[in-house]
Structure 1
Amino acid sequence: MGFEMRREEVLDADSLRAMLDEQPGRAAQAIVAAAGQNVVEAQALLGQILLDGRGIAQDQPLALRWFAIAADAGHLMARNMLGRCHEHGWGCTADAQEAAVHYRLAAAAGLDWGLYNYANLLSTGRGVAQDQELALACYRKAANLGHAKSMNLYGRYLEQGLACKANPAEAFDWYERSAEAGDFRGQFSHASVLASKGQVDLALAWFEEALRIGNANFLRVSGPQLESAGDPRIKVLAVRYQARLLELGGSLA
């Protein structure tokens, strides 16, 4: 017997997401059923759970197909995820140029994640011609939409005067906003500024939060930066960053 849900139930995307936390297998069945009824949000969700292997067997090529179906129906996050798949080679051959096509479409429609991902390619010249001014504009727009990671990177451009006039005071404000919005890199940036101003106790609290939620790549890069800190309390954190990196399966090299 197949899984059955009433039409009004499958349309409730928030309920499906909540169910994923509590009953991932049952949620996956509901998402498959809803996707089969052409519920676009469920089609995008199906792509995500197939990509993650959450409640369902991981299948990256099939995830790519469902993202494409949802994107063609106008789902912006699915369009962004198509870009992610092509950028990282999830279910396909990695192709930064193809990723840029999808990020650009999502960005043009005003999706914060699309703006952020497109800006990342523009800033590094991957898949597109390097364009720091356009990257800055995309980060700024995403930051103003409340995108935490873009807040941090917009702050970095302002601090360094990259493609704009340097404005450290405004940069530091964006770092603080990024930190408070939950981005671990923004938390590290904010903590670094606080430390430079002698506000070590506050800096330590933000360094600790970044340590708690940061991923392996972040910890690998950030840990060594703490070793050169003037305050010994901050230097001690470098060892803890390295220890946490190893816990996450990362390498110090």
Structure 2
Amino acid sequence: MNKRLLSLFVGGFFWVFAGSVSAQPSLSELEKQASEGNVEAMFHLGQTYDEGRSVPQDYVRALDWYYRAADRGSVDALYRLGVMFEKGLGVPQNLPQAMMWYEQASALGSANAQFSLGIMYDFGRGLPQNYRKAREYYRLAAERGHAMAQFNLASIYDNAQGVPQDYTEAAQWYQKAAEQGIWEAQFNLAGLYFYGEGVKQDYVQSYAWYAAAEAIIGYSEAKVKQKEIEGLLDAKDVERARLLAAEYIKNYTVKNR
């Protein structure tokens, strides 16, 4: 499977104010906190307008709050400014500006920004394609636990893009992404186990990872591969494979990103 993952899942989150964790505060509470200099409140006001949470979506107001938070050192705001400029939300699309904001956020440890820079170099978005730089940024994000960066880094090694083909390195990063519920990584890791590339050939492991991928996405090819593997195993090993598959489905099938 020669592909890369491009998008980030934005999900719900908890809010931390005045030393406690609670559900999303009201707009007036956020504004009060922001007026008192709370940088997190400034960022979350930006996100509120950015995503239209209980208010009409307003990218211009979102930008204003992101700028305020970024000026006070919010890494998340720096990253979101990069997104706004990359996608042209509230401002004309400006990829060099997006890169500038991403680089600032990356320097402060934002895995999302590092992943986004990896994408820009990988696909030549606003600059010449550079697999070496893409790999460097994917690795930074991957080492911080960014699942999609782990998958993309594995894919670079798997497909020998800008580096010598290295199935062992690919398998290590696919494994990390697979354990975070990235079905594409599970499918590719299953293939490496099936053919014994970068790992010791293991049909039981291959079956289990194919099963996990199929459980997430209903991918028909993964189902076909499970049937093929069952034909290569004796009854005892088929049972072992099914038990391991049940374990992987329980532990590694995150359907949202």
Q: Which runs of structure 2 are paired with 1:1-253 in the superposition (5 Å)?
A: 10-12=17-19, 15=21, 18-20=22-24, 26-194=25-193, 198-199=203-204, 201-211=207-217, 226=221
Q: State the Cα distance separating 1:184 from its structure 2 match.
A: 4.2
Q: Give the total of aligned pairs.
A: 207
Map Cα deviations across residues 156-189 of structure 1 (whole Å, 9 max, x no partner): 1111222223210221121111121233443443
Distance between the aligned counterparts of 2:227 and 2:179, measured in 1? 25
Larger RCO: 1 or 2 (CA < 8 Å, sep 6+): 2
Aligned AA for 2:164?
A: K
Unaligned runs of 5+ in 2: 1-15, 196-200, 230-257
- Taking structure 2 as the reference length, the TM-score comes to 0.70
Distance between the aligned counterparts of 1:190 and 1:92, measured in 2? 41
Say if 1:187 and 1:209, in contact at 8 Å, map to a contact too: no
Distance between the aligned counterparts of 1:230 and 1:204, measured in 2? 7
Distance between the aligned counterparts of 1:31 and 1:160, measured in 2? 47
Distance between the aligned counterparts of 2:27 and 2:183, measured in 1? 30
Distance between the aligned counterparts of 1:47 and 1:188, measured in 2? 38
Distance between the aligned counterparts of 2:49 and 2:101, measured in 1? 20
Distance between the aligned counterparts of 1:231 and 1:202, measured in 2? 8
Q: State the Cα distance separating 1:191 from its structure 2 match.
A: 4.3
Distance between the aligned counterparts of 1:111 and 1:193, measured in 2? 31
**Corresponding residue number in structure 2 for 1:242:** none
**Corresponding residue number in structure 1 for 2:198:** none
- SS at 1:207 equivalent: helix
Q: 1:187 to 1:61 in 2, by over 3 A?
A: farther
Distance between the aligned counterparts of 1:209 and 1:42, measured in 2? 39
- Taking structure 1 as the reference length, the TM-score comes to 0.71
**Corresponding residue number in structure 2 for 1:215:** none
Say if 2:211 and 2:222, in contact at 8 Å, map to a contact too: no
**Corresponding residue number in structure 1 for 2:242:** none
Q: State the Cα distance separating 1:115 from its structure 2 match.
A: 0.7
Q: State the Cα distance separating 1:155 from its structure 2 match.
A: 0.6
Q: 1:188 to 1:230 in 2, by over 3 A?
A: closer
Distance between the aligned counterparts of 2:226 and 2:187, measured in 1? 16
- The structure carrying a bigger helix percent of its residues is 1
Q: State the Cα distance separating 1:143 from its structure 2 match.
A: 0.8
Identity in percent: 26
Map Cα deviations across residues 84-112 of structure 1 (whole Å, 9 max, x no partner): 11111222222222211111111222221
Distance between the aligned counterparts of 2:34 and 2:214, measured in 1? 41
Unaligned runs of 5+ in 1: 1-8, 21-25, 213-222, 235-253
- SS at 2:23 equivalent: helix
Q: CA RMSD of the aligned region, Å?
A: 2.8
Say if 2:156 and 2:162, in contact at 8 Å, map to a contact too: yes
Aligned AA for 1:171?
A: A
Aligned AA for 2:207?
A: D
Q: State the Cα distance separating 1:129 from its structure 2 match.
A: 2.6
- SS at 1:136 equivalent: helix
